[in-house]
A = this chain, B = another copy of it.
Amino acid sequence: MSAIVLASGSAIRREILENAGLCFDIVRPDVDETAIKTAQTNNGTNPADIALILAETKALAGDQNNGNLVIGADQILAFDGKAFDKPTSMEEARTRLLAMQGNYHELLNGVAVAKHGEIIFRAKNTVTLHMRKMSVVEIDTYLDAAGTDILSSVAAYQVEKLGARLFERIDGDYFSVLGLHLFPLLQFLRDQKAISF
């Protein structure tokens, strides 16, 4: 049975896999995500494929070629035809929420598994989130209450916390919203006999 490794610094992905009862180690892959995103965007790669390329890159970077199954994952926000990364300041988060309110946006997930230096599994999916119309006052009230924790999210909100109050509809399963396309990953790990059920 191969050991499972999560190549990610993401607290929420770790929590999802822990809650699902998986035993795994964690490594933080040394990947310059911003450089990859910029290069791929300039190449004209579509955002969903960029998420997958980043997932694969992280999985390969975390793979020590010892037979472990190394999971990489990434999530990109797509809005109005453009891809967005995590906001770097509350002001940037504010600008983004002001643009996104009253409209829908997409979260694009990529997940991959590397073993012996090769990608042996990849999957991607998209979830759609409909943000309700909000006034500037409402958005500022939210940002004050939610605080800088939201800067850890690609989308400038945490739907599992106060961010729930920004939405009128979410089309997509919980794990995908949080940043992990979980079900096909679990099926792959079952097929590999890395988990018992």
Contacts and interface: CB of A to CB of B under 8 A. Distances in A.
Interface in A127-177: 132, 134, 137-138, 141-142, 145, 159-162, 164-165, 167-175, 177
A171 B174 CA distance: 10
A190 to B, nearest CB: 8
A175 B168 contact: no
Contact of A132 (B170, B173, B175, B187): B187
Interface string A1-35: 00000000000000010011100000000000000
Contact of A169 (B20, B159, B162, B173): B173
Copies per complex of this chain? 2
A73 B21 CA distance: 29
Interface of A: 16, 19-21, 132, 134, 137-138, 141-142, 145, 159-162, 164-165, 167-175, 177, 182-183, 186-187, 195-197
Contacts of A173: 169-172, 174, 177
B186 A20 contact: no
B134 A165 contact: no
A187 to B, nearest CB: 7
Nearest to A164: B20
A161, A167, A197, most chain B CB atoms within 10 A: A197
